[in-house]
Amino acid sequence: MRKRTAAGLHAGIFMALLYPSVALAQAQSQGVETARGLSGQANLRASYEDNVFRQTTLLFPGDRKGDFRLTPSATLRYDVPVGRQGFFVQGNAGYNFYARNDNFNRGWWGADGGVNWHVGTRCSGLASAGYSESQSDFGDLGVAIDNLEKRKHFGFDASCAGPVGIGLVGGVDYTKTDNSTSSRIVGDLRTFGYNAGLLYRSVLIGDITVRYMHEDRKYPNRFIATPLGLEQDGLQVDRVALNVTRPLGARLTGSAGISYIWTDPDVSVFDSFKGMGWNGDLSYLVSPKLSFGVSASRDVTSSAAIDSSYQITRTFGGWATYKLSSITSLSVGATDMRRSFRGTFSNTILLPTGPFVVPVRTRENTQNYYAEVGYTPNDRWGASLRYQYSNRNSDGSFFDYDGNSVILNVSYRY
């Protein structure tokens, strides 16, 4: 078994990813049908990063901070409509090849399947199950160790609504994440959630959804010493959320949501949180050549790669694209993410030089900036060249880093 591997870029905000299937279900209820057959995409990414581990101090002898990386990957999906139901299977896989740190070479893969179901004229949704394996992000771990996150996911979402009027929405979700390295099993995470709410749909106003959402998050191998003894880490997260998706015109599109969130940690000495969450995105087509967009979110997140019970994560982002011609474009963008860590503890990992205690962090701020030139001669294939700069400042300098990347990506769709 390799001692260390390459890190994939795996990050996301909970509110942006929680219910993508609801939008799909609503689209199906308005007459969008599933196509039959095979589709896919192949990518080849070549990059140079002057800080491949996103660290200021390298802990492993022989590691090279700057490196070239070649990453081929592919995604395949097969859809089979049966009556009004849309069955599908899909998978993705890729591999990282490093020029200087070849002991970091590593692949990842994932597969899932399910059915976009439709019952009657009003009810539709998604039932799915999936499995994936990927390297933990070094930025979350804080150290370069070989740790696969193995995830199993099951979900069911439903929407019962007509073209106009009031309808019902709801769903259940379960995710199990296990870590492969012994020093990271404290991060093994189990999440079970459910939601239910009302949907109001209007041709003029758009879709307005009110939901109640509940999650139970458990760390089965993490026990915290308190005055009451050893207590298993976990928490309950509840939300009441209002989301609006409104047609704003041919040039302006977007959605927005607000929520009130409260947490109840299982460990008696960990602080609870009560406060507002939000999510929104807006894009505007200024002219046939120029467009821009902004996004914002705030939510309570948890990760199997972080020594913290939960995080309050706030993200702002913006982008702009200018078409230089019918096949070339120039894009720029930036994001600012701030995380506040709750329920933190010190974890010890084994290095070649001996045991190492990973420091505790309570807050951090990370900025990313990029500029990209895109080339898309047709609908089948395209290429892009991107420069990216990242910087993180933490309350503990151990987690600080900055880094530059140059990335060439070529993709082919079929």
pLDDT at 411: 97
The pLDDT tens digits of the residues spanning 248-300 come to 777 888 889 999 999 999 999 999 999 999 999 999 999 999 999 999 999 99
Question: HEC profile for 266-311?
Answer: CCCCCCCCEEEEEEEEEEEECCCCEEEEEEEEEEEECCCCCCEEEE
pLDDT at 124: 95
pLDDT at 87: 97
The pLDDT tens digits of the residues spanning 53-91 come to 887 766 666 678 889 999 999 999 999 999 899 999 999
62-71, 107-116, 149-158, 180-189: range with lowest mean pLDDT:
62-71
The pLDDT tens digits of the residues spanning 29-55 come to 344 455 779 999 999 999 999 998 887
Q: Return the closest-CA partner of residue 212 out of 240, 237, 192, 244.
A: 240
Check pLDDT > 60 for residue 2.
no
The pLDDT tens digits of the residues spanning 327-351 come to 999 999 999 999 999 999 888 877 7
Check pLDDT > 70 for residue 11.
no
- Chain position carrying tokens 């996911």: 153
pLDDT at 344: 93
Q: What is the pTM of this model?
A: 0.85
Measured over all CA atoms, what is the biggest interatomic distance in the chain, rounded to whole angstroms? 67
Which stretch, 234-248, 308-322, 340-354, has highest mean pLDDT?
308-322
